[in-house]
Amino acid sequence: MQRMYSPWRSKYINSFSEPSSGECILCKAPAENDDEKNLILLRGTYSYIIMNLYPYNSGHLMVVPFRHTGNLTDLSNEEILEIFKYLKLTTEILYKTMKPDGFNIGSNIGRSAGAGIDEHIHFHIVPRWNGDTNFMPVLADTKLISEDMRDTYNKLRNALV
């Protein structure tokens, strides 16, 4: 049997059994003003682009409004415009740097819709490649991430500058 080591996943899995601190991680990350540590790639006026700490694939990004809300209808037109501008920008940068064959882009709004962080709306951009799925997620509940997150961060950050 082959063993694959992905220690970042255990933090995510264990987070569901730990009591909530009441602190929103999507508010905390930009407030710390340490973008490299928090994997924030770009800040705008109303939103920011951050790498997903628990990615489905290499290059899995999120666009997040600075304003804490779990409801899409709470967002202003300005916030929505910037979020969609960043969704477009992230797909352009990912096409350029990682050359995916396609993307999954979306948001899970509400716990019953699958939101892991339901109190702060955010939008996922997941690059996809032909053949990037295999038996591992189905049989072993394991997803292989092919590139170190810091390498991906540096590649994407340089493309955005």
Over residues 130-150, mean pLDDT = 59
What pLDDT score does 102 carry?
94
In this prediction the pTM is 0.79
Domains located in the chain, CATH noted: 23-160 (3.30.428.10)
The SS3 of residue 49 is strand
Q: Please write the tens of the pLDDT for every residue from 40-97.
A: 999 999 999 999 988 888 899 999 999 999 999 999 999 999 999 999 999 999 999 9
Of the residues 60, 68, 120, 122, which is catalytic? 122
* pLDDT at residue number 17: 41
Determine phi and psi for 155, rounding to 5 degrees. -60, -45
Residue 82 Cα to chain centre, angstroms: 17
How many H-runs (helices) and E-runs (strands) does the chain carry? Answer: 6, 5
The answer to whether 122 is a known catalytic residue is yes
HSE-CB at 96 with a 13 A cutoff on CA atoms is 12
Q: What confidence score (pLDDT) does residue 56 get?
A: 82
Nearest CA among 121, 104, 103, 125 for reference residue 113 = 121
